[in-house]
Structures are given as C-alpha cells and as structure tokens.
Amino acid sequence: MRKTVFFVIFLTIALGVKAQYVFEKDDIMYNVGIAIPDAFGLVPSINFSGEFGAIPTGDVGIISFGGVVAYQIASLSYYVPGANGNYTFHRFYFGPRAIWHLHTFTSNKYDLYAGLGVGIQIHSGYNNYWGERIASSAFLSGESFIGGRYIFKPNLSFFAEAGYGALAVLKFGLTFKM
C-alpha cells in the first residue's frame, strides 16, 4: 500500500510538472550589447533589442517578435598631398525582427534561437577638414542570425548572436527578462 501511494504521488508530480524553458509565451526580454562590425569598419557598434513571446509551436519552440536598434560612429584621419583631415561617419539601423526559440531540450539555463529581420540603415559621412557632408544614404537591409543565452540569474543572462545585419556580424551582451 505504501509503495502504491508513493507511486501515485510520484506519477502525479511527474505528469503535472510543466517543462521549463528560458523563453515562454508572453515573456519579454531586452538585450543590451556591443557588436563586432561588418565590412564597413573596425569600430564596434552598440545595440538594443527586445522581444515578446507570441506564438507557441508545440514542443518545438516559440516564435517571438520584436525589434532592434544599432548605432556606430567612427572617425578616420588621413593625409594626402595637398590635403589632410578627419572623416567621421555615423551608421544607424532599426527595424523589426522575428525569432524562433528552440525547445528541443528541456533547460532553464540555455536558450537557443534563430531569427530574421528587415530594417533601415542610415549612413552619414562628414569631412571635418572641408567642413562638408560627404555622403548620406538610407536603404532597406535584411538581418539573419543565430544566437543563444546563458541564464545566470532568474532575470539576467548573457547573450551572443552571430549572423549578418544590424551593423554587425557578432553581438554579445546582457539580457534582462521582464
């Protein structure tokens, strides 16, 4: 009788416990980080992104929607015969993105995800020697990435993303869960 009671209690707990994942429906997370830039320079950019867990995809994962903002400023000094100066450029990116968080394994410490986005990049250059704007442009730009989070406190984690877009090929920083 005693074994039967323990078995019923164990079975009730085992079936009643929900699998723990880092990112669930209705969760909100914000990333703050720096990024190693793409082909346009050597100066890191700063980036902010956020996401909201919206569409569960069964045991496979959850789809979240959010946005990203990134900014980069760089300065280049040059000397050519007859002229020298300083060229400064600013790059700004913003746009929405969708992320699929994989629930292929049960973990409350790791979150693996992949995503796509589209945004607007704005470039502006300024020649300090001549005192004039050299170039300005704005264009539509895509973003694709894979990433992960390691949770070291309930509402705080480390994130890293690799891919193309949003002024960077590699981003890393902190994630805050609301």
> In the chain, where are the structural domains located?
20-177
Beta-strand ranges (E) seen in 81-155 are 83-102, 110-127, 132-153
Positive/negative CA dihedral, 156, 157, 160, 161: negative
Average pLDDT over residues 117-146: 83
CATH, domain range 20-177: 2.40.160.20
For the chain, percent of residues with pLDDT exceeding 70:
80
Higher pLDDT, 135 or 170: 170
**Which residue in this structure is represented by tokens 């609301």?**
178
The predicted pLDDT at position 120 comes to 96
The predicted pLDDT at position 41 comes to 61
pLDDT digits (tens, 9 = 90+) for 9-61: 433 333 333 456 677 788 899 999 999 876 656 678 899 999 999 998 887 88
Residue 73's Cβ-side half-sphere holds a number of Cα atoms within 13 Å equal to: 2
Does the pTM surpass 0.85? The reply is no
Question: Is pLDDT above 80 for 98?
Answer: yes
Q: Torsion angle, CA of 20/26/32/35, rounded to 10 degrees?
A: 80
Joined together, the tokens standing for residue 62 give: 């959850």
